[in-house]
Amino acid sequence: MQTTVLSFENLHNHGELFANLFRARKQSFIVEKRWNLPEALDMEYDQYDTPASRWIAIHDDVGQVYAGIRLTPTIARCGIYSYMIRDAQRGLLTSLPTDLLYDAAPVDPQCWECTRVFVLHNTPQLIRRRVHAFMVEAMVKSAREQGASQLIAITPANWPRWYGRCGLDAKGIGPVIFIDDGDYQCVQIDLTNKMH
């Protein structure tokens, strides 16, 4: 199993991996979860897939993607859009409620947003724990390399059960809200204890 952090600067070094990640996102979010999201060329994408973002792929040695994550700085801008949680709060996204957060969404170079987190359903049970461990390690390392001291994310509302097991220091920063297929909550993940 391998972890690759993709960016617009390095995706040419990784063959089909970037496209495979977006194909896996389609499988996870459109096919498996039945979310109404944009797609083209058998890939899921949205307005936040810009050069400002980073994408983490957990995959095998031939590019079969098991899991993925997108990281976007909260200072990102592309036309009228910034980042998903903030744009939802600003009423720009009809697919998400505006009351995701208790306070105003952060705009801070040390805070990045974590979205499009998935593990494909067909990932073998035998390796799922390793996949989760690889995801957490890559997410923290990549965010720290970008200068982040915290992450914000929309995550399933049962996050307290497994964030601690993953070694993540997190707190809820918004109410539990039913979205599409379940209860979700915005969380803030503190990376300051992961400085080294």
* pTM of the predicted protein model: 0.92
Is it the case that residue 193 has pLDDT exceeding 90? no
**Residues forming beta bridges with residue 152, ordered by sequence position:** 113, 188
Residue 56 has phi, psi (to 5 degrees) of: -105, 125
pLDDT value of residue 15: 87
**Residue 152 pLDDT class (50, 70, 90 cuts):** very high
Give the model confidence (pLDDT) of 53-111 as tens digits: 999 999 999 889 999 999 999 999 999 999 999 999 999 998 899 999 999 999 999 99
**Residues forming beta bridges with residue 3, ordered by sequence position:** 58
- The more confident residue out of 158 and 6 is 6
Residue 169 has phi, psi (to 5 degrees) of: -100, 105
**Residue 195 pLDDT class (50, 70, 90 cuts):** low
pLDDT value of residue 194: 60
pLDDT value of residue 28: 94
Domains of the chain: residue spans and CATH: 2-194 (3.40.630.30)
Segment among 17-31, 47-61, 117-131, 156-170 with least mean pLDDT: 156-170
Q: Are 142 and 117 a contacting pair, CB within 8 Å?
A: no
Give the model confidence (pLDDT) of 172-185 as tens digits: 999 999 988 889 99
Residue 146, judged by CB atoms within 10 A of its CB (0-12, 13-18, 19+), counts as middle
Q: Are 21 and 11 a contacting pair, CB within 8 Å?
A: no
Residue 45, judged by CB atoms within 10 A of its CB (0-12, 13-18, 19+), counts as middle
Characterize 130-139 residue by residue with b for buried, 16 or more Cβ atoms within 10 angstroms of its Cβ, and e for exposed: ebbebbbbbb
